[in-house]
Amino acid sequence: TTLTITVTGTNDAPTATAATGSVTEDASITGSISAEDVDLPAGASLTFSTTSTAAGLTLNADGSYSFDASSYDSLKAGEEQVITIPVVVTDDQGATA
What's the pTM? 0.89
- Quote the DSSP letter at residue 62: T
Length of the chain counted residue by residue: 97
pLDDT digit string, tens, across residues 31-84: 999 999 999 999 999 999 999 999 999 999 999 999 999 999 999 999 999 999
Domain ranges of the chain: 15-35+44-90
The pLDDT assigned to 80 comes to: 96
Sign of torsion over alpha carbons 62, 48, 13, 18: positive
Confidence of residue 28 (pLDDT cuts 50, 70, 90): very high
Strands 64-68 and 47-49: unpaired
Mean pLDDT computed over 16-20: 95
The pLDDT assigned to 29 comes to: 98
The pLDDT assigned to 88 comes to: 98
